Amino acid sequence: MTLKAVSAIDNPAIFCLVASQEQVGARLDKYSRLVIVSLLSRFRLFCLLARYILYCISNYLPESRTLPLGLTIRSDTANMAPINVCMVGTGEYTTGFVGGGASGSDKKVGVVGLTLFDLRRRGKVGNLSMVGTSGQKFPAIREHLTKNITEHYNGLDTSFESYPANDQRDSEAYKKAIDALSPGDAITIFTPDPTHYPIALYAIERKIHVMITKPAVKLLSEHQHLIEEAKKNNVFVYIEHHKRFDPAYADARDRAVRGLLGEFNYFYSYMSQPKSQLETFKAWAGKDSDISYYLNSHHIDINESMVPDFRPVKVTASASAGIATDLGCVPETEDTITLLVDWEKKDGSGRRATGVYTASWTAPQKAGVHSNQYFHYMASKGEVRVNQAKRGYELAGDDAGLFHLNPFGEFCWLPCKED
Ligand SMILES: NC(=O)c1ccc[n+]([C@@H]2O[C@H](COP(=O)([O-])OP(=O)(O)OC[C@H]3O[C@@H](n4cnc5c(N)ncnc54)[C@H](O)[C@@H]3O)[C@@H](O)[C@H]2O)c1
């Protein structure tokens, strides 16, 4: 006998038993069908009532409880208590505040702060704090966030606790900020690359979850140590490779991983930002890190995630120089870095592939987009080409000119508010 159970849409408490007339009608008379409907409907009502009572009780419990018969009920509210988050780094990506005002890039109000202020509004996170190296910047940062976020987004609260104090400079203020958190809370790290490792380690050792921007760290040994410590302390350590969530990139990766394109053979990528970034990042550009760590890390991660059966076996690199130093950067600053990587299939079949990754921070100022970014992946049965600089969304204005916007993330480059 084939029976199909369907919950009535307008009254979920009523359980309907639908049986096709031809199959069931002959075997069930009207009376037995009514008995089944009635029994099931009472059982379902009982279940709904029991679930509702358990839900009500659990809301009054501070934590999970084990009841007689081994039944455990857990308080949703206790379980989902919002975590407190400390943002480490107060620069372009966290606040959009650069060199005394809003960044000239597409991150005029930052990304991390805005997101966390909104998550707090929705009750997903609790207290927010921010830590930099110079407390003197905080009054101006607060003014910038009030003007460009609170006054633009329906009064969104942009308040936060700050470290170090307004009259202090302290490159280790992150320790005090992390000490103020409790195990299970979280930090985000958007600071110059060499500082990611010590800050992350300090937090992990105190059982704080960590989100580190790319590139996670600069040395393989540091990377491995963080994984080890994260396991030991039972915390999440997440690397912010946001290109993985770009719908076009994710689709390309899915096709490659499922083998629809065949065996990996060649990958080429280019990613660049305008020369003005050298001014934004002048505190560390060329000294503490380079443009390959900064931008190539995106496409190397994408390539690696597309080809789990391959591993890189040889890396050579080449760089151009002269533009950044003409602009006043330290002598060791390179303009455009290209990596040439040999990949080998892990199964010993002898299959090889080539990856070429180029990154630059000396692109023209008015290239139409803040970041040029494209790649070409070729395999034995097919290829993909993705150009995510101009995501198919153009906006023009009398004063602003033509812009290629990112409909997945950017806010308006033209005034969004009616004046
Ligand atoms: N700007 C972007 O578009 C972007 C995008 C993705 C990832 N990132 C990554 O973010 C990191 C840089 O952050 P940014 O872009 O905001 O740069 P930024 O130079 O504008 O800001 C860096 C911030 O780090 C702070 N800082 C430096 N040392 C510190 C320390 N010891 N303790 C606490 N704070 C410290 C500085 O005070 C500054 O506020 C890099 O690793 C970069 O790869 C940047």
Mutate to test the pocket of ligand 1, among 86, 88, 90, 93 (most ligand atoms within 8 A of CB): 93
Q: Where are the beta strands (DSSP E) in 191-277?
A: 209-213, 237-240, 264-274
Ligand 1 in contact with 270 (CB < 6 A)? no
The SS3 assignment for 180 reads coil
Ligand 1 in contact with 190 (CB < 6 A)? yes
Ligand 1 in contact with 94 (CB < 6 A)? yes
Instruction: Tally the residues of the chain.
Output: 419
At residue 69, the pLDDT reads 52
Residue 328 to residues 272, 275, 282, 324, 349, Cα–Cα distance (Å) = 19, 12, 9, 7, 50
Say how many Å lie between the CA of residue 409 and the centre of ligand 1. 19
DSSP 8-class letter at 282: T
Say how many Å lie between the CA of residue 286 and the centre of ligand 1. 14
Ramachandran region, residue 368 (left: φ > 0; alpha: ψ -120 to 50; beta: rest): left
Say how many Å lie between the CA of residue 255 and the centre of ligand 1. 34
Q: What is the pTM of this model?
A: 0.79
Ligand 1 in contact with 93 (CB < 6 A)? yes
Protein residue closest via CA to atom 12 of ligand 1: 191
What does residue 61 show for φ and ψ, rounded to 5 degrees? -95, 140
Would you list the DSSP string of 63-110?
S-EEPGGG-EE--HHHHTPPEEEEEE--STTTT-EETTEE-SSS-TT-
At residue 215, the pLDDT reads 96
Ligand 1 in contact with 249 (CB < 6 A)? no
The SS3 assignment for 302 reads helix
How many other CB atoms are there within 10 angstroms of residue 29's CB atom?
9
At residue 15, the pLDDT reads 25
Say how many Å lie between the CA of residue 59 and the centre of ligand 1. 41
Say how many Å lie between the CA of residue 348 and the centre of ligand 1. 41
Say how many Å lie between the CA of residue 177 and the centre of ligand 1. 17
At residue 403, the pLDDT reads 74
Residue 68 to residues 72, 141, 217, 347, Cα–Cα distance (Å) = 9, 55, 50, 54
User: Which of these, 298, 292, 287, 284, lies nearest to 318 by C-alpha position?
Assistant: 292
> Which residues, given as ranges, of the chain have pLDDT below 70?
1-79, 406-419
Q: Hunting for tokens 């395999």 — which residue is that?
A: 379
At residue 34, the pLDDT reads 53
Contact present, 48 and 149 (Cβ < 8 Å): no
Mutate to test the pocket of ligand 1, among 90, 92, 175 (most ligand atoms within 8 A of CB): 92
Q: Hunting for tokens 């107060």 — which residue is that?
A: 90
Q: What spatial distance separates the first Cα and last Cα of the chain, rounded to whole Å?
A: 69
Q: Give tens-digit pLDDT for 215-257.
A: 999 999 999 999 999 999 999 999 999 999 998 999 999 999 9
Ligand 1 in contact with 213 (CB < 6 A)? yes
Say how many Å lie between the CA of residue 113 and the centre of ligand 1. 13
At residue 413, the pLDDT reads 47
